[in-house]
Amino acid sequence: MLAAAYEELDRDSFAALTLDRLARRSGVHVSTIRRRWRTVEGVVVDLLAERSSTLPTPDTGDFRRDLSQLTQAIADFNNAMRNRNVMQGLIAAAAHDTRVEEILRNAFVRRTEEVTLIVRNAVERGDIPEGTDAWEVIASLGAPLYYRVLILRGAIDERLVHTTVEVTYQAARSGVFVRQG
């Protein structure tokens, strides 16, 4: 079912995705899809969870390189049109469905927590100051990328990857993200 949804999203937008189209593509009866996922959003939420779990958490021993690899992985994921369709569709669905909103938020929180390891490792190595807020570093890294994808509805180019990494790296090294108090 998830493969069928992924193929459909490669061909068309989230708005065009229906349970009937999923049933035709997958060969699974609509009632079976409804029983398992209830809605198109349910299928796509599972698809997002499956796809985003394949993104690695870099651990090269070099903070800038880790940020660069993470940023490039986010760019590659979101530059695939079907992944972008998934993200944009889920954001739209979350505005009207609290269940989708909660699932989407939890997916982003879980992934952010996973990749804060990059920052915690950099603190342990002395690459960035003690007390650096790992969550805020990752949020700062992700913000321009998701702004490009979700607000401007564009691709993440090499320049954005580079500038995002450099700004986040330099800010973290200079102590901008150190918790106060």
pLDDT in tens, 15-30: 788 899 999 999 999 9
Please write the tens of the pLDDT for every residue from 65-121. 999 999 999 999 899 887 888 788 788 888 888 888 887 888 888 889 999 999 999
Contacts of 71 (CB under 8 A, 6+ apart): 141, 145, 161, 164, 165
Q: Residue 132: phi, psi to the nearest 5?
A: -65, 130
Read off the amino acid at residue 85.
Answer: N
pTM of the model: 0.82
CATH code, residues 2-173: 1.10.357.10
CB 7 within 8 A of CB 24: no
What type of residue is 118? I
Q: What DSSP string describes 12-46?
A: S-GGG--HHHHHHHHT--HHHHHHHHSSHHHHHHH
Annotated domain spans of the chain: 2-173
* CB-count burial class (<10 Å; 0-12, 13-18, 19+) for 31: exposed
pLDDT band at 53 (very low <50, low <70, confident <90, very high): low
